[in-house]
Each structure stands twice: as structure tokens, then as C-alpha cells.
Amino acid sequence: MKLKPLHDHVIVKPITENEMTKSGIVLPDTIDKEKPEKGEVIAVGEGKLLDNGQRSPLGVKVGDKVMFKKYSPDEIKVDGVEYLIISEGDILGILE
């Protein structure tokens, strides 16, 4: 199944990172129940529809690694893989 976002929405695959203590102990991602704040853009919509009927282009593209607001995405599963749907306005920046 293929998922295509509409308007100014972006499909993101979350990036989870294991944290390490100063002494070298790796903390699994289950230790912290917070949602991920980083992800890789998998698909983008066509852009926000403006009042004049034109579309505003998105500032992110497929493959970008992005930071986003912690509680803004909607979680979905497609073919057993977890994805997040985020409005472009909730993306804080692109990681370079």
C-alpha cells in the first residue's frame, strides 16, 4: 500500500536514538515514553491551497531529516511500519 499526503501534510518515518549515559550504558528507547522529535521525510503533499487558488510550495522534500513539535504528529501504521503525518507548520527545521 502506498500513502500520499494531501495539501501541506508530510509523511515522516520517526528516527529513534538510543541514549547513552556518561558511563557508557545504553538506555533503550522504551525507557522514555516521549514521542520522537526527529524523522525522515518519506512523502510530501502538493502544498497549501491559497485564497487565489494557487498552491504554496513546501519547504521540505523527500529525504530531508526534520525536527518537529513533540505532540503534533498523528501516528499511523502502514504494512506494519509506523509513520507520522505532520502539517508543514509543525516542522521546526531541517537537520543538515
- Give me the residue spans of the domains in the chain: 9-95
pLDDT digits (tens, 9 = 90+) for 29-83: 554 555 568 999 999 999 888 899 898 889 999 999 999 988 888 888 888 889 9
User: 12 vs 20, 21, 23, 86, CA distance in Å?
Assistant: 25, 28, 33, 7
pTM: 0.76
Of 68, 82, 69, nearest in space to 29 by CA:
82
Q: Which CATH class is domain 9-95?
A: mainly beta
Question: What is the structure's pLDDT at 84?
Answer: 92
Does residue 18 have a pLDDT over 80? Answer: no
Amino acid at 36: P
Question: What is the structure's pLDDT at 71?
Answer: 81
The answer to whether residues 74 and 85 touch, using CB atoms and an 8 Å cutoff, is yes
Question: What is the structure's pLDDT at 60?
Answer: 93
Question: What is the structure's pLDDT at 26?
Answer: 62
C-alpha cell at 4: 500520499
Burial of residue 69, with CB atoms counted within 10 A of its CB: 0-12 exposed, 13-18 middle, 19 or more buried: middle
